[in-house]
């Protein structure tokens, strides 16, 4: 039996206070009591240990008998089954909690990936829009330059036509004057002849 077991048995059999038990132990084992002082300070813990030792000390003979009967009948004690069920239940709960946590993480990752994909799609759409606007701008600039050139040519043509018009107007006036002069001259000749 270990030193702790002897201490527990002594605590279980003794109805004396914990200080008396410890001093008795110190006498028997010649142990320095200063190392056990934390037990003195924590009376509740000491009483729990005493209760535990009482529970463990009483059914010793029956525990051995049970061990042999378990071996024979291959049955497990109910407390072991209960402990195993509790362990399985706790393990299942832990697995379920981990699974739920993993599902939450997966959902967050999917949401983040969806957001990222949506942002990429919007970004590519914005880039395509910018590129199409840029190409439309280039086309409009080319058309503007062409129209400017056409306007310049049209203005030159208008100036040329105005010059021609003014020269033709002068020629027409001169011709009209000449025709009028010739007509008057012809009339004067007729009048002279008559």
pTM over 0.75: no
Radius of gyration of the chain (CA): 60
Note the residue count of the chain: 194
Low-confidence ranges of the chain (pLDDT < 70): 1-77
Neighbours of 21 (CB within 10 A): 21
- pLDDT (tens digit per residue) in 56-72: 655 554 555 555 554 54
- CA dihedral in degrees (58, 59, 64, 67; nearest 10)? -150
As a whole-number percent, the residues of the chain with pLDDT over 70 amount to 60
- pLDDT (tens digit per residue) in 123-139: 999 999 999 999 999 99
45 and 39 in contact (C-beta within 8 Å)?
yes
Look at residue 38 in the predicted model and tell me its pLDDT. Answer: 55
**CA dist list (Å): 159 to 47, 153, 163, 177:** 122, 10, 6, 27
């Amino acid at each position: 039996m270990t030193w702790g077991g002897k201490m527990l048995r002594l605590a279980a059999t003794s109805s004396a206070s914990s200080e008396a038990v410890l001093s008795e132990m110190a006498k028997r084992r010649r142990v320095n009591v200063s190392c056990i002082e934390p037990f003195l300070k924590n009376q509740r813990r000491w009483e729990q240990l005493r209760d535990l030792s009482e529970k463990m000390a009483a059914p010793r003979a029956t525990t051995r008998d049970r061990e042999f009967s378990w071996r024979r009948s291959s049955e497990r004690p109910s407390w072991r089954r209960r402990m195993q069920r509790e362990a399985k239940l706790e393990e299942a709960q832990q697995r379920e909690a981990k699974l739920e946590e993993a599902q939450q993480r997966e959902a967050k990752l999917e949401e983040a990936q969806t957001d990222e994909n949506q942002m990429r799609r919007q970004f590519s759409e914005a880039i395509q829009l910018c590129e199409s606007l840029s190409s439309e701008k280039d086309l409009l600039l080319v058309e503007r330059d062409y129209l400017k050139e056409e306007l310049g040519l049209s203005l030159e043509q208008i100036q040329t036509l105005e010059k021609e018009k003014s020269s033709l107007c002068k020629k027409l006036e001169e011709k009209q004057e000449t025709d009028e002069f010739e007509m008057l001259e012809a009339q004067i000749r007729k009048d002279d002849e008559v």
